[in-house]
Amino acid sequence: MTSPARQLAEVTVAQPLVEFDDVHVTLMAVSHQINVLRGVSLTITRGESVSIVGPSGAGKSTLMMIAAGLSRATRGSVRVAGESLDTMNEDALARFRQRNIGIVFQS
């Protein structure tokens, strides 16, 4: 059996580590919709350093939560480490996070 770390290391440069394709997140308020993310497309490849910057409320944390499998996009597709997060149920997402995701929260 291949270890999760080795599986992640085997992702090639040609295969993105993180890929968002036309990702939208819409939240429902009492009287209107709030479009948090609108058509975000992003590819991060192995070895690449990326900064996500923007003003408060721009959707940075939402983007990170979706990439970590902690939140879901309203529309669009999300792939991380070669796996589609869109079709995973909550148990599969929990196993995926256990094997692949690490988060450091800061305030």
- For 45-63, what is each residue's pLDDT tens digit? 988 999 999 999 999 999 9
Buried b (16+ CB within 10 A) or exposed e, 40-51: beeeeeeeeeee
What's the CATH code of the domain at 10? 3.40.50.300
Instruction: Print the domain residue range for 15.
Output: 4-100
Do 35 and 23 meet the contact criterion of CB atoms below 8 Å apart? no
Which residues, at least 6 apart from 98, have a Cβ–Cβ distance to it below 8 Å?
none
- For residue 41, is it within any domain? yes
| Count of the separate structural domains present in the chain | 1
**pTM score, whole prediction:** 0.80
pLDDT at residue 37, as a whole number: 96
> Is residue 105 domain-resident?
no
φ and ψ of 61, to 5 deg: -65, -40
- Is the pLDDT score of 74 beyond 80? yes
pLDDT band at 78 (very low <50, low <70, confident <90, very high): very high
Q: For residues 46 and 12, what is the distance between their CA atoms, to the nearest angstrom?
A: 7
Question: In this structure, is residue 22 part of a structural domain?
Answer: yes
Q: Do the domain assignments include residue 106?
A: no
